[in-house]
């Protein structure tokens, strides 16, 4: 049974049609990669899945665990187990990393009918997960994403993912702005989060991220829909020949 | 002071959004509406005041009659009819209460709803409470423990009789009757308030706290607070304010005077949550308050911290006059306006002594269709050699129908003085909201998180017991401000 089922999804901004009948199924335990040239609608897909309001969804359905996501707000989608790692994480001046993490962890625990975590227990949990991503205590005292380097921003995204423990994680261009070392840390962090209960959707322009997060399936997206699917080898083909051949094939 | 969950629930059921909006049915003793000499004489006689106090009031009334209501603040409100207000209203049977058992149970229930434990056994260790209901102080807790240290903490109406020498010496010494229209009015008709005296060398062993409650319809509240910290003493004082939800506007015109002698320190914190009016701008308190502290002694310090979330119209500038050499004035403020609220608030730091230092941190948050103005004055007088001021004014906008205004007045008459002013204006962006939402926070949780982050520098100045409550209050005040 599929964990996430996207069916015939159409979305636009104003008159511009961006998603044009996209369908995709992800089962628990699977990692899927969507690759595509600039402007193919990759980031729009991540925003539409997570519930950003700027888009008009004109047709289609997105089921997470059989529940329709398109009918509910972004915060409800998160509470159902959807997570989006942002391509460009947003700055929250005044809100320290620690405060932010404490707030989202407890909000998610309340949604799951778990008791809120306080004090030392909470700090221990955060520190453990942070250490795995080589995030220092000092970084958690800084304001969320303010003055973070590209690598710090992405590691902080993955830390949130680790703490929220989502059923489906969508990673939007997680490799952008990363140097080689940061890419290795982030890749390892994400790979550690693979589990038989979780599905992942990795959205990327370049193949290099997929050396660190090995996908089970690779899909090529052009003009708002998937035009070809295959195994990891498909990504290697893109690396070698670019997107040209796929574009011509259309 | 944590508000009991159960209490919150009860009150939420009783009111819609403003959770303190209930009123209490009590038998009251009321003077007729309107203001003239006879009303002032009546107030004075109700309080069994000495002759000199009545004369002082009548003089203030003469001054007030010749003054005009100020119009320079950036606030608009319908004209106040000063003859249509009750100037005296007291819960009956409050004469000479010896213990809580004698307090009207309805009144105790009211304070329980407000989350203020007057019952001494239940009271938070370390906080003494004076409760002022309409115009009368109903009960002061922990008096015995304080008396042992020589600390006087009592209703000002009582202090006028028991400590006339202190009252005569200090009342009106920081804010003279003629200072402004509302201070003159208050001086004529004030009915109660708190009086605090900390003797030489004493560090007050607990937080002192006053809760003000306007209950009766059409009643003005004119409380007067006077705090004196003698040489080498310290006190931390907190006031909280609430009022029932009513369609008409009610007037609150308080006067607060602080005096510090050599090496003394007063920390004065306010959590102001008067009824702000409903979401259509109907009703709410007019809060026209004069607060000023005088650092008379050398090395003395006065620190104002305020969290202002209530009132329909606020006109308030807690200030410091830095007489003593090396004295320090501080002003930490969070002012939140939502719906149709208007706030014109800030501070005045008047530097007279050498090496005097002042810090102003003001955080204004505007939402809905509200207007939020910071108005601040920094004045370095010729004697203020090497004086320093640092001012930071930050404004945060939520939505696109509100306004934030910053109006600093800066004057230096001493070339060695150093003045810094920083100001920023920012807006909660759609991106920030979406980022928080995508992590499972509701819009209200997201706004509360961002706003609390914005205010952190001020919130950390609040006494521990109250900062949690203040944080919650910020969340509640901004409910419905987005989306």
CATH number reported for the structural domain that contains residue A84 in this entry:
3.40.50.300
User: Distance (Å) from the C-alpha of residue A173 to the closest C-alpha of chain B?
Assistant: 16
- CB spacing of A160 vs B453 below 8 angstroms: no
Tokens of B236: 């931390």
* Percentage helix, strand, coil for chain B under 3-state DSSP, each rounded to 5: 25, 35, 40
The pLDDT, as a whole number, for residue B8 is: 38
**pLDDT, greater one: A68 or B239:** A68
CA atoms within 13 Å, Cβ hemisphere of B201: 0
- pLDDT of B98 strictly over 60: no
Provide the 3-class DSSP secondary structure of residue B181: helix
Q: How confident is the model at residue B107 (pLDDT cuts 50, 70, 90)?
A: low
- pLDDT of B4 strictly over 90: no
| CA angle centred on B274, ends B272 and B278, rounded to 5° | 135
The pLDDT, as a whole number, for residue B393 is: 94
The pLDDT, as a whole number, for residue B95 is: 47
Q: H or E element: which one contains A141? A: helix A137-141
- pLDDT of B458 strictly over 60: yes
Q: Is the dihedral of CA B39, B43, B45, B50 positive or negative?
A: negative
pLDDT single digits (tens) B288-297: 999 999 999 9
Q: What is the DSSP string of B190-211?
A: --B-EEEEE-TT-B-SSEEEEE
Q: What is the DSSP string of B448-459?
A: HHHHHHHHHHHH
Q: What strand order describes the sheet that includes A217-222?
A: A82-85, A168-172, A199-204, A31-35, A217-222, A225-230
Mean pLDDT of the B23-42 span: 77
Q: How confident is the model at residue B439 (pLDDT cuts 50, 70, 90)?
A: very high
**pLDDT, greater one: B322 or B80:** B322
User: Distance (Å) from the C-alpha of residue B264 to the closest C-alpha of chain A?
Assistant: 33
Mean pLDDT of the B168-197 span: 93
Domain count, chain A: 1
* b/e map A73-97, b = 16+ CB within 10 Å: ebbbbbbbbbbbbbbebbbbbbbbb
Q: How confident is the model at residue B124 (pLDDT cuts 50, 70, 90)?
A: very low
Q: CA–CA separation, A227 vs A246, rounded Å?
A: 8
Chain center to CA of B456: 20
- pLDDT of B462 strictly over 50: yes
- pLDDT of B455 strictly over 60: yes
- CB spacing of A164 vs B454 below 8 angstroms: no
Nearest-CB residue to A90 (from B426, B431, B441): B431
CB contact A118 to B (< 8 Å): no
How many A-B residue pairs are in contact by the CB < 8 A criterion? 71
- pLDDT of B3 strictly over 50: no
- CB spacing of B437 vs A95 below 8 angstroms: no
Cα distances (angstroms) measured from residue A98 to each of A136, A152, A185, B212: 11, 14, 21, 36
> Quick one: A142 exposed, middle or buried, by C-beta within 10 A (0-12, 13-18, 19+)?
middle
Q: How confident is the model at residue B18 (pLDDT cuts 50, 70, 90)?
A: low
The pLDDT, as a whole number, for residue A159 is: 97
Number of residues that this document lists for chain B: 483
The pLDDT, as a whole number, for residue B474 is: 77
Q: H or E element: which one contains A9? A: strand A2-13
Provide the 3-class DSSP secondary structure of residue B375: strand
- Structural domain boundaries enclosing A16: 2-248
Q: Write out residues 372-431 of B within 8 Å (CB-CB) of A.
A: 426, 429, 431
The pLDDT, as a whole number, for residue B14 is: 36
Tell me the ipTM for this assembly.
0.96
The pLDDT, as a whole number, for residue B216 is: 59
- pLDDT of B1 strictly over 80: no
Q: What percent of chain B has pLDDT over 70?
A: 79
Provide the 3-class DSSP secondary structure of residue A65: coil
Choose the weakest-confidence range: A224-233, B32-41, B324-333. B32-41
A92 neighbourhood in chain B, CB within 8 Å = 432, 435-436, 449-450, 453
The stretches of B28-99 forming alpha helices (DSSP H) are 37-46, 51-65
Mean pLDDT of the A146-175 span: 95
* Percentage helix, strand, coil for chain A under 3-state DSSP, each rounded to 5: 40, 30, 30
Q: Write out residues 438-467 of B within 8 Å (CB-CB) of A.
A: 438-443, 445, 449-450, 452-456
Q: CA–CA separation, B244 vs B147, rounded Å?
A: 34
- CB spacing of B438 vs A51 below 8 angstroms: yes
Mean pLDDT of the B330-335 span: 94
Mean pLDDT of the B31-52 span: 88
The pLDDT, as a whole number, for residue B240 is: 76
The pLDDT, as a whole number, for residue B239 is: 83
Mean pLDDT of the A76-105 span: 95
Mean pLDDT of the B429-457 span: 92
The pLDDT, as a whole number, for residue B465 is: 66
CB B364 within 8 A of CB B307: no
The pLDDT, as a whole number, for residue B104 is: 60
CB A105 within 8 A of CB A122: yes
Q: How confident is the model at residue B250 (pLDDT cuts 50, 70, 90)?
A: confident
Q: How confident is the model at residue B120 (pLDDT cuts 50, 70, 90)?
A: very low
Mean pLDDT of the B128-147 span: 67
Q: How confident is the model at residue B141 (pLDDT cuts 50, 70, 90)?
A: low
- For A40: left if phi > 0, alpha if psi spans -120 to 50, otherwise beta; the answer is alpha
The pLDDT, as a whole number, for residue A145 is: 96
Q: H or E element: which one contains A22? A: strand A16-27
Mean pLDDT of the B173-197 span: 93
């Amino acid at each position: 049974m599929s964990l996430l089922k996207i069916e015939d999804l159409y979305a636009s901004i104003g008159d511009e049609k961006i998603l044009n009948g996209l369908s995709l199924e992800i089962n628990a335990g699977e990692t899927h990669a969507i690759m595509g040239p600039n402007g193919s609608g990759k980031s729009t897909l991540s925003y539409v899945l997570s519930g950003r309001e700027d888009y008009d969804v004109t047709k289609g359905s997105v089921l997470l665990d059989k529940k329709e996501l398109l009918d509910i707000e972004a915060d409800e989608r998160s509470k159902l187990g959807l997570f989006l790692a942002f391509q460009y994480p947003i700055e929250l001046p005044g809100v320290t990393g620690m405060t932010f993490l404490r707030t989202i962890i407890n909000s998610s625990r309340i949604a799951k009918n778990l008791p809120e975590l306080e004090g030392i227990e909470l700090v221990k949990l955060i520190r453990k997960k942070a250490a795995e991503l080589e995030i220092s205590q000092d970084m958690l005292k800084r304001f969320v994403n303010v003055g973070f380097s590209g690598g710090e921003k992405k590691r902080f995204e993955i830390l949130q993912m680790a703490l929220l423990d989502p059923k489906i994680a969508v990673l939007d261009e997680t490799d952008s702005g990363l140097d080689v070392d940061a890419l290795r840390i982030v890749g390892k962090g994400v790979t550690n989060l693979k589990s038989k209960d979780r599905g992942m959707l990795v959205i990327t322009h370049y193949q290099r991220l997929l050396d660190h997060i090995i996908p089970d399936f690779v899909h090529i997206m052009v003009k708002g829909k998937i035009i070809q699917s295959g195994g990891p080898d498909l990504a290697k083909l893109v690396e070698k020949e670019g997107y040209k051949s796929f574009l011509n094939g259309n | 002071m944590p508000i009991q969950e159960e209490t919150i629930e009860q009150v939420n059921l009783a009111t819609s959004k403003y959770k303190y909006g209930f009123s209490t049915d009590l038998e009251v003793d009321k003077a007729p509406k309107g203001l003239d000499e006879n009303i002032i004489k009546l107030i004075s006689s109700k309080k069994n005041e000495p002759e000199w106090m009545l004369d002082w009031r009548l003089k203030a009334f003469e001054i007030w009659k010749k003054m005009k209501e100020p119009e320079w603040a950036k606030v608009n409100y319908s004209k106040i009819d000063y003859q249509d207000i009750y100037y005296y209203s007291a819960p009956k049977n409050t004469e000479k209460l010896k213990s809580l058992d004698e307090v009207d149970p309805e009144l105790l229930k009211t304070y329980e709803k407000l989350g203020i434990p007057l019952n001494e056994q239940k009271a938070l260790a370390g906080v003494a409470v004076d409760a002022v209901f309409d115009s009368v102080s109903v009960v002061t807790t922990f008096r015995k423990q304080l008396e042992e240290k020589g600390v006087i903490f009592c209703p000002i109406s009582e202090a006028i009789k028991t400590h006339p020498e202190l009252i005569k010496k200090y009342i009106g010494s920081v804010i003279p009757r003629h200072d402004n229209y509302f201070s003159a009015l208050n001086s004529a008709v004030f009915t109660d308030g708190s009086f605090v005296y900390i003797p030489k060398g004493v560090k007050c062993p607990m937080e002192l706290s006053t809760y003000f409650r306007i209950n009766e319809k059409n009643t003005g509240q004119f409380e007067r607070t006077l705090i004196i910290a003698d040489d080498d003493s310290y006190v931390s004082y907190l006031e909280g304010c609430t009022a029932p939800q009513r369609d008409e506007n009610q007037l609150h015109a308080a006067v607060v005077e602080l005096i510090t002698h050599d090496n003394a320190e007063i920390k004065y914190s306010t959590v102001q949550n008067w009824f702000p009016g409903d979401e259509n701008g109907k009703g709410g308190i007019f809060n026209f308050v004069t607060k000023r502290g005088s650092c008379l002694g050398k090395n003395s310090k006065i620190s104002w911290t305020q969290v202002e979330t209530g009132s329909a119209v606020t006109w308030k500038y807690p200030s410091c006059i830095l007489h003593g050499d090396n004295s320090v004035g501080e002003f930490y403020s969070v002012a939140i306006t939502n719906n149709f609220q208007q706030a014109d608030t800030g501070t005045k730091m008047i530097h007279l002594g050498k090496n005097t230092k002042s810090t102003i941190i003001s955080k204004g948050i505007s939402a809905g269709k509200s207007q939020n103005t910071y108005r601040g004055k920094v004045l370095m007088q010729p004697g203020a050699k090497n004086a320093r001021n640092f001012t930071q004014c930050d404004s945060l906008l939520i939505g696109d129908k509100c306004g934030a205004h910053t109006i600093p007045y800066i004057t230096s008459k001493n070339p060695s003085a150093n003045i810094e002013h920083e100001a920023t204006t920012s807006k909660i962006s759609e991106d920030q909201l979406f980022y928080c939402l995508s992590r499972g926070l509701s819009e209200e949780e997201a706004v509360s998180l961002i706003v609390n982050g914005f205010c952190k520098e001020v919130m950390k100045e609040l006494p521990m017991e109250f900062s949690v409550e203040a944080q919650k209050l910020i969340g509640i005040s901004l409910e419905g401000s987005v989306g």
